[in-house]
Amino acid sequence: MPNKPEGIISLGINTIKEYRRKGYAESVCAAFVDHHLKHGLLPLWQCDFGNTASQSLAEKLGLRCLGNVYSISTLMESWESTLGGME
């Protein structure tokens, strides 16, 4: 995460489809959050805006939504590659 303040650790998880809904992500993420809090780091959860399963897991772990972040970098790369093909 660019420009991440000191003392913040970024957290995200991607679970293979056949292993979802078995509690693995919750166990791993709970251990991650606990470990980093004990070491003075604040976990920052990141997920896609429409990923309600990830948002629910974060809330289950006691994390709160502080807001939404939008990035234009991917859009700009796509736009630039489209323009490049038009020249």
- DSSP sequence for 2-35: TTPPTTEEEE-----GGGTTSSHHHHHHHHHHHH
Q: Is the pLDDT of residue 3 over 70?
A: no
Does the structure show a pLDDT above 50 at 81?
yes
**pLDDT at position 6, please?**
75
Q: What is the pLDDT of residues 18-59, one digit of tens each?
A: 998 899 999 999 999 899 889 888 888 888 888 888 899 999
Range of the domain at 66: 8-84
Q: How many structural domains compose the chain?
A: 1
- Smallest CA-to-CA distance from 46 within 75, 20, 84, 9 is with 9
Residue 65 forms part of a structural domain: yes
Residue 2 lies in a domain: no
Whether 1 is covered by a domain: the verdict is no
pLDDT at 30 (0 to 100): 93
Pair 47, 55: CB distance under 8 Å: yes
Question: pLDDT above 70 covers what percent of the chain?
Answer: 72
Q: Identify the CATH number of the domain in which residue 12 sits.
A: 3.40.630.30
Please count the residues of the chain: 87
Residue-level pLDDT at 5: 64
